Amino acid sequence: MVTVLLVAAALPATANAEELWFPVELPLDSYADTWGAPRGGGRSHEGTDILAPQMRRVYAAASGEIIKALGEDCQDGQVCSSYYLAVAGDDGRGYFYVHLNNDTPGRPDGCDGLGGVAGAFSPRLVEQLEDVGTLAGTRVVRGEHIGWQGSSGNAACGVDQLHFEIWSDHDWGSTGKINPYQELVDAEAAGRTGDGATGGDEPSVVRDAGDDRIGTAIALSRTAHADASGVVLVPAEDYVPALVAAPLAALHHSPVLLVPSNAPPPDALVDEVRRLGATSATAVGDIDAAALEALVYTTGIEQVQSIRADGPTELSVAVADAVVAGGGDPDHIVVAPVDLGDGSRGWPDALMASTLAAYRQAPVLLATADGLTNDVKRHIEGSGPSTADVVGGTAVIAETVVDDLRAAEILTRRLAGADRLGTGLAVTAAILDGPFGAAASVLHVATAADYPDALAAGPAMAAQGSVLVLADPSGDNLSVLDWVGARADSIDVIHAIGGRLALPDETVSALAAGATGSR
């Protein structure tokens, strides 16, 4: 299959250059005008070196088509010395991104050259490479994440930098090169920084996915977090721990990562914890002690806290206590549904509730269709919140829950729609209308048919200031299409969460087509 990237047709080479996008994630260390400075072998410097830590994101400075991706043929476990991307810009110029990362993230064993293509190129480009075998001919969009900062090639070990060049042509600068320094200064001053892929009538589409739910959580972590001092670990086999842990992770600027509850942690999970530089972990739910010990041993985590309980509602109370004790919002609660008999019901609303709770850094408390359990009632009485959001309709959370909260003089709002898609949109609207600084410019979409791929979405949304909608891979998604169409002018990038079996390209493409607007 071909990865979906929806952009306008290429402009002719004579088109005026669009304003440059700053190509490295902020904050960075430094860059200076070293154009013409002497280099070895009688050469002179023909670019700008942008110094920033390893694994900072590298962005496309302009829209165009990849000419060559050095290192794309590097195999897993193979030492590879150099990675770069050369792009033929739609504006007729060429753009050269050199010294992309080639080492294991975090460099636990120094400059080992074992980072592989996943450590050099963005997740979308890696997926494209897996699909078609080469990145040559792949389009990139201005502001799109394309790679990772590093020190490959002839850069000194660990002196992480992007050597950035602008060519006057598409032929490797055969007709001359342009000093990029002033354009970089102007881009940074104008705020053309960070994730901001635009460039066509339709938004670009990026897929955040791994081989399984564990890999997809890792992909979300990489997209949302350049680093993190701590991680929140949850069992991969159960949706409740991940969803109630979302505000705890957001509170501490940590990702939620999924762990096999009774098996050794996969190498990709170990690599991600190392990349983040995490030294502490909070395990929520039933994760086998041996599995935790294995992860601690292989990653260098120094401190582990475990939060366990006998059942889902009890676990939500235990995590709520930790959220409030850690500095979360004590005056608000988010009530989400849980079906103690049928795990297939209620989770879509609970997923959206966890996203809202992550933004609010407020506890998620679980309620059954019949009402609040005694342990949840006792927590509410003891904590004394003044406001509450109840997420889901009366089919999953009884009206008696709202009545009980209001009887306790808690200002209560029910967020619900005609179906799970409508409830998701109601929650997303509440996030966009709230004081969180969230925007729909980066829109995430997850399947409404099953929960595994989106378990870690809540804290990832809060970390990026983005929002989430649900889509039915077998339905018409009319309500979501209407919502997207009404906000078409503001949506620049759509992130599809999970693989194509869970969320087909056709579903995502329909949303992208609905976001054409009047750009």
Which three-class secondary structure string do you get for 460-506? HHHHHCCEEEEECCCCCCHHHHHHHHHCHHHCCEEEEECCCCCCCHH
Measured CA angle at 162 (ends 160, 166), to 5 deg? 165
Tell me if 20 is assigned to some domain: no
pLDDT tens per residue, the chain (519 residues)? Answer: 223 333 333 333 333 346 899 999 988 889 999 999 988 778 899 999 999 999 999 999 998 899 999 999 999 899 999 999 999 988 889 999 999 999 999 898 899 999 999 999 999 899 889 888 899 988 888 899 999 999 999 999 989 999 999 999 999 988 899 999 999 999 998 888 877 654 445 676 778 888 899 999 998 998 888 889 999 999 999 999 999 999 999 999 999 999 998 888 999 999 999 999 999 999 999 998 888 999 988 998 999 999 999 999 999 999 999 999 999 999 999 999 998 665 556 789 999 999 999 999 999 999 988 899 999 999 999 999 999 999 999 999 999 999 999 999 999 999 999 999 999 999 999 999 999 989 888 899 999 988 888 899 999 999 989 999 999 998 889 999 999 999 888 887 888 999 888 999 889 888 988 887 543
Tell me if 347 is assigned to some domain: yes
Tell me if 200 is assigned to some domain: no
Tell me if 62 is assigned to some domain: yes
| Claim to verify: residue 420 and residue 277 sit in the same structural domain | yes
| Claim to verify: residue 397 and residue 319 sit in the same structural domain | yes
Tell me if 340 is assigned to some domain: yes
Task: Report the domain count for the chain.
Answer: 2
Tell me if 13 is assigned to some domain: no
| Claim to verify: residue 169 and residue 300 sit in the same structural domain | no
Domain final position from 172, 194, 216: 194
Q: Are 358 and 462 in contact (CB under 8 A)?
A: yes
pTM > 0.85: no
Tell me if 454 is assigned to some domain: yes
Looking up residue 139, the CATH number of its domain turns out to be 2.70.70.10
| Claim to verify: residue 286 and residue 176 sit in the same structural domain | no
| Claim to verify: residue 233 and residue 322 sit in the same structural domain | yes
| Claim to verify: residue 172 and residue 260 sit in the same structural domain | no
| Claim to verify: residue 255 and residue 185 sit in the same structural domain | no
| Claim to verify: residue 251 and residue 139 sit in the same structural domain | no
Q: Which domain holds residue 241?
A: 206-514
Domain final position from 194, 226, 257: 194
Question: With b meaning 16 or more CB within 10 Å and e meaning fewer, what string describes 136-160?
Answer: eebbbbbbbbbbbbbbbbebeeeeb
| Claim to verify: residue 178 and residue 279 sit in the same structural domain | no
| Claim to verify: residue 171 and residue 262 sit in the same structural domain | no
Domain final position from 127, 162, 194: 194
Which residues are CB-contacts of 62 (< 8 A; sequence separation ≥ 6)? 17, 18, 20, 21, 87, 89, 90, 91, 93, 95, 142
Tell me if 282 is assigned to some domain: yes
Instruction: Show the tokens assigned to 9.
Output: 């047709």
Percentages helix, strand, coil for the chain, rounded to the nearest 5? 30, 20, 45
| Claim to verify: residue 330 and residue 475 sit in the same structural domain | yes
DSSP type of residue 186: H
| Claim to verify: residue 457 and residue 479 sit in the same structural domain | yes
